[in-house]
Structure 1
């Protein structure tokens, strides 16, 4: 097996079932020591019990692997810090963090309570922030880290009834972009996985045939590649039913419109050309947008002066 995790320590959040469980089992099978975190709540985030995480730990141990259970809520920064310390106390390091914990509170935006928006943001986005913050000093000190965010097609492309979930999932891509830049000099690679999988969160939305195709295990290869030693960084891998794709936030070539009184009208008239995708790029940082715009303005000024 090319992807070997022997000697590596991984934390997988939301690993008591579904996709997280598959992630934890796969990492353990390939030699990683795994801290299995799960609050053990319902899919809307209510309730809690450590038994889900412990059941996965028992599976790993029965197969000859090493694992520990943890029942922290990722929304509680102190509990998350203690979870990371638990892994360090047991195994001395943390190499891999898979931010998988999440909940659903689906409703159309018109009917959605703000509390349901806030809680989904809190679990998905702040949960990942708390986990990243807790492992960051360790990964920086050891000059090695692999962080996998769990994004979603609902964030990348939208999905009816998931304004809260989609906003949180796209926010994780933004978090990935900057952490990958800041982590580069410390050997920390940060990527995102956008899975299509049938889990407890989606099971009542699909036919049996589709459910079988969307086995969560089919997504795991993408996670292993993003968490491995040769992992890329700043990559959004989409995965489902045995297929894999990459998603990019791109910048079109655009047009120089100017700042005159009629700029709004000229932009409206040129909108199709501004949005045209020929020659689009994938910027490596936000400053590339500014460079393109200022460069074009300077070139225009030079032409007018000439």
Structure 2
């Protein structure tokens, strides 16, 4: 495969002033894209634009918040006014509020959803309209392992990131007919400004976290995540609706599967709670599973397991 080239394309990266976002901005610009660097830390956004321009690339800073419809429209409008269109959107902006659920305020809960989930909506929708009209576009959402298999703490963050996965898959299904590809990444980079300002969660100090994190720490870099994002942004990527994890030199797919399950002995006769209890190990056994493309696939799976023809 020849080198991925983004000459003539326009990208928006939210949260682009630091860490992962900065890395995406620089790499896309090095490969020819004109990049709108969005960050509420305007000084950080300006610094990234300066880096891009020093290397001969095209960049523009945006200080608008992703958390409002007005801000989202302004970010996209800046890209269109300055560079003519939008080809690529990387929704990377984020925040977090650490603490036990019993002590979590509704304001903190909603503040995290506002940036991650509402923010992805507010920026994606105006960009989506442009991409749909042009018949092409690439969108990368930022999920997290915390949203797919959360552990104790950060319940607001886990909720927002789980929502991102659903949002990704819904837009991927809708975008297929319009040439818009939407995928999500679950990055392991470490050292972000977002996580460094959050308070500690006791469970994250447990040995099961400390050991692997210490081993991977030296290798968890922006450079270990950026290649996946660059590929997902490129026309060469024909995949859509995927959640992909990356970090420390490892890349993999994260998916929701459907077990083979258990069916009642007699079709049309409802199971009892006692039967469910007796067969629960079979219901949750993951040895045999399928990965549905959508809710219709689950219906087909159930019908097949019941021996019904689906036409």
User: Normalization by structure 1: what TM-score?
Assistant: 0.90
SS at 2:245 equivalent: strand
CA distance in 1, matches of 2:293, 2:144: 21
Q: Say if 2:216 and 2:248, in contact at 8 Å, map to a contact too.
A: no
Aligned residues: 291
Q: 2:281 matched to 1:288?
A: no
Q: What's the CA shift for 1:210? A: 5.1
Residue 60 of structure 2: which of 54, 63, 68 is its match?
68
> How do residues 70-85 of structure 1 correspond to structure 2 at under 5 angstroms?
70-85=62-77
Stretch of structure 1 that moved more, 267-276 or 31-40? 267-276
| 1:58-113, Cα deviation, whole Å (9 max, x unpaired) | 11011100010000110111121121111111111101000000001011111211
Moved more, 64-73 or 194-203: 194-203
How many angstroms apart in 2 are the aligned matches of 1:13 and 1:61? Answer: 18
- For the aligned residue pairs, the C-alpha RMSD in angstroms reads 2.0
Q: Which residue of 2 aligns with 1:93?
A: 85
Contact 1:16 1:52 in 2 (8 A): yes
Does residue 242 of the first structure (1) align with residue 249 of the second (2)? Answer: yes
Per-residue CA distance 1:234-263 (angstroms, 9 max, x = gap): 111101111111101111121213664652
Pair 1:155 & 2:147 matched: yes
**DSSP-derived class of the 2:279 partner:** helix
1:230 to 215, 232, 236: 236
Equivalent position of 1:304 in the other structure: none
Whether 1:17 aligns to 2:18 is yes
Contact preservation (8 Å) 1:215, 1:241: yes
Q: How far, CA to CA, are the matches of 1:103 and 1:146 in structure 2? A: 24
Contact 1:203 1:211 in 2 (8 A): no
Hey, what's the Cα distance between the residues in 2 that align with 1:271 and 1:209?
A: 37
- Aligned-pair CA distance for 1:160: 2.1
Question: Which of 100, 108, 116 matches 1:124?
Answer: 116
Q: Matched residue of 2:5: which SS? A: coil
Residue number in structure 2 paired with 1:2: 3
Unpaired runs of at least 5, structure 2: 201-209
Pair 209,271 (structure 1): closer, same or farther in 2 beyond 3 Å? closer
The match for 2:131 is 139
Unaligned regions of 5+ residues in structure 1, if any? 41-49, 301-306
Q: How high is the TM-score relative to the length of structure 2?
A: 0.88
1:256 to 242, 258, 263: 263
Contact 1:108-1:161 within 8 A present in 2 as well:
yes
**Distance in structure 1 (CA, Å) of the matches to 2:172 and 2:151:** 27
State the match for 1:220 in structure 2.
226
Contact 2:68-2:118 within 8 A present in 1 as well: no
